[in-house]
Structure 1
Amino acid sequence: MVTKMHGGAQKVVYKIDCTNGFSCVLYVWDITMNYFQQEIAGQNTNAQSYGSEQFEINNRYLLEHSIRTPALYDMNKDRNPYDFDYALVEYVAGQAAEAYFSHSDSRVKDTIFQRLGDMITGMHAGESEIYGKPDQTEHDTGQCHLIQLQNAIIQLTYASEYIDVIRRNQGKLLDMLYKLESRVEPRRRYGYIHGELGPNHVLVTDQLEPCLIDIEGAGFYDIEHEHSFMEFRFGDFYRFLKNDNLDVNRKLFYQYHHHLSLISAGLKLAQRGYPDQQTAKGISDYHTRRALQFIES
């Protein structure tokens, strides 16, 4: 039996239950089913977090470093007979970490998020002098945060076309972006990050062990990028994940970038027929409010 699962915005996911009791998951990277196919075609930051090669590279790295993620059973990139890549991966029984936010047993919650915090600390401890994928060998002379600077400008421009309050404040929002970026000092050491580590991208097994999914966007980068994202995605539970040795200015810049980027992301999901329209609108509205708080304070 084949059942479609919630696969997010960039790939289609199915659970396969075989007659002998074995279960696995099918990942399908069909660009026509991707809600950000226009951005991927334009080779912007979305292209760095999409595709079978990205998954394969990061899956290998995570498992080699004892970071729990579903095992890869088989990968097909021949584009024959289908014109898309697909993979069979391990089925991990469990719930997303966000399901435990309201769990009645505080000991269960403490166990899960402490284990996740330990996992993230270990993952971020992997270091490289080169930012990008684990197999990357070429040095880029630029600073990685400038990628986010350019992306924020693009997303702010897009959002200003559709959201009145963003259009009215576009100049102030842009000034704040440059102000925060000007405080970021050069760096040449990067940690390994997931790239979009929200509680929906952490499965919790029946043994209360965290398991990372949707790993295509992982790679070596500023760990402040990850922490600034996790802080608003995990809310009160971020206290289990926090790192007291971060660059404060870099983290603040990335936080602001996330808000600008996610205004546009939520807007695009809503415009492009994402099934959960309420969630898409909620993303855009929430990050609009958060971005405006930066220029009001």
Structure 2
Amino acid sequence: MERVLGTGYTVTNVARMHGGAQKVIYKIDCSNGFSCVLYVWDLTMNYFQEEIANEASGERSYGGSLFEQNNKYLTQRGIRTPALYHLNRDRDRYPFDYALVEYVEGPKAEAYFEHADRRVQNTVFQRLGDMLARMHADERQVHGELDQCGLDTRACHLRQLENAKVQLAYAAQHMDSMRANQSKLLDKLVELESRIEPRRRYGFIHGELGPDHVLVNDKLEPYLIDIEGAAFFDIEHEHSFLEFRFGDYYRYLKNDTLDPNRMLFYRYHHHLSLVSGGLKLLHRGFPDQQFAKDLAEGHARSALRFMEG
């Protein structure tokens, strides 16, 4: 802290912040009243380290370098995300990347779902909707991460098709309802993919934007966090996730130009992926076991409902 910010920044308290499944986060308080956040990308503390180890190039969503490039890109375009003060990728003293990042004083966006003042709600979610519209309108004719754009020449949704097959196989190993319906669930996945027409237009998306990945400061300004997975992709991937994560408040974020076939395909992919994700958190000792169980069971029910229509 003193090397990066100066001798007046003497640490008085360090507290682990709850949440992240992929990086460890601490709040640091200093004697001069300043606070910031420490991000630690320690793979041994990541609940998805096995998946990260097997990631192909162009499918990365973890690490300090991704955070740095996405932080710079978003900030330059006026998309609010906590400022990066310092990133250390030397790994000379510790075997992981770590960063000092701006501490945004305020709750996550989900706190405003139940806010008593409708005008405050409108302000928060309209501002978030405007910010996402600007971000998604930043388009390229190739998809991928900022430093990998165009390297994968497949249609981008085919990455999610293959991922959905892997996640379904995992879920079928550990959940009776998924195992009993595995072939039908796979048939539905193939059917939904077959409806998608070719495209050469991709917007910049966050990649996993729930209300828990948005902080709101005291001026009611939203900030995007956990931005490592941001990339150019079908914006329907983002909107199909926003739709069920924000519920009634998705009306502030919706886009009337979306492809309905892509929306259905990605929605189904998210359900399959989150069944598997919840089970992995359950099996790998995630502290909130009830959350992990509810995540897996809730999205299993949603995936199975796709077979009814």
Pick the TM interval, shorter chain. Answer: over 0.9
Is contact 1:59–1:71 with CA below 8 Å preserved after alignment? Answer: yes
**Structure 1 residue 296, shift from structure 2 partner:** 1.9
Counterpart of 1:273 (choices 285, 290, 300) is 285
- Please tell me whether the aligned partners of residues 58 and 144 of structure 2 are also in contact (alpha carbons under 8 angstroms): no
1:108-147 alignment, distance < 5 Å: 108-147=120-159
Alignment match, 1:242: 254
Whether 1:57 and 2:69 are equivalent positions in the alignment is yes
**Which residues in structure 2 correspond to 1:157-172 (within 5 Å)?**
157-172=169-184
Deviation at 1:47, TM superposition (A): 5.5
Amino acid aligned to 1:41: A
Q: What does residue range 13-28 of structure 1 map to in structure 2 within 5 Å?
A: 13-28=25-40
Contact 1:25–1:89 (Cα < 8 Å) also in 2: yes
Q: Would you say how many aligned residue pairs link Structure 1 and Structure 2?
A: 297
User: Deviation digits for residues 154-203 of structure 1, max 9, x if unmatched?
Assistant: 00000000101110100100000000000011111100000000000000
Deviation at 1:49, TM superposition (A): 1.3
Deviations 1:69-111 (Å, cap 9, x if unpaired)? 0010000000021011000011110100001101111111111
Q: Equivalent of 1:101, from 103, 113, 130?
A: 113
Aligned to 1:225: 237
Aligned to 2:163: 151
Work out the percentage of aligned pairs sharing the same amino acid: 66
Inter-partner Cα distance in structure 1 for 2:20 and 2:137: 28
Letter in 1 for 2:99: A
The one of 210, 214, 218 aligned to 1:206: 218
Cα RMSD of the aligned pairs, angstroms, is 1.2
Q: Which amino acid aligns with 1:72?
A: L
AA aligned to 1:230 is: L
**Aligned pairs (5 A) from 1:29-68:** 29-43=41-55, 48-68=60-80
C-alpha distance in 2 between matches for 1:130 and 1:19: 48
Aligned-pair CA distance for 1:7: 4.0
What TM-score results when the alignment is normalised by the length of structure 2?
Answer: 0.94
Describe the shift of the 1:233–1:153 C-alpha distance in structure 2 as closer, same or farther (beyond 3 A). same
Q: Answer with 223-232 or 138-147: which moved more.
A: 138-147
CA distance in 2, matches of 1:292, 1:86: 40
1:194 alignment counterpart = 206
CA–CA separation in structure 1 for the residues paired with 2:257 and 2:149 = 28
Q: Distance in 2 between matches of 1:138 and 1:293?
A: 35
Runs of 4 or more above 4 Å deviation: 44-47
Gaps of 5+ in 1: none
Are the counterparts in 1 of residues 58 and 145 from structure 2 also a CA contact under 8 Å?
Answer: no
Partners of 1:75 and 1:269 lie apart in 2 by 28
Following the alignment from structure 1 to structure 2, what is the Cα–Cα distance between the partners of residues 88 and 115?
26
Residue pair 1:195, 1:226 contacting (<8 A) in 2 also: yes
Show the 5 A alignment for 1:80-95: 80-95=92-107
Give the counterpart of 1:3 among 12, 15, 25: 15
Match of 1:180 in 2: 192
Q: 1:62 to 1:242 in 2, by over 3 A?
A: same
Distance (Å, rounded) in 1 between the aligned partners of 2:126 and 2:188:
35
Q: Structure 2: give runs of 5+ residues left out of the alignment.
A: 1-12
Give the whole-Å Cα distance in 2 for the aligned partners of 1:59 and 1:295: 40
Residues 215-224 or 124-133, more deviating: 124-133
Give yes or no for contact 1:130–1:136 (8 Å, CA) kept in 2.
Answer: no
1:254 counterpart residue number: 266
- The Cα of 1:138 is off from its aligned counterpart by 4.1
TM value normalised by structure 1:
0.98
Code of the aligned partner of 1:91: Y
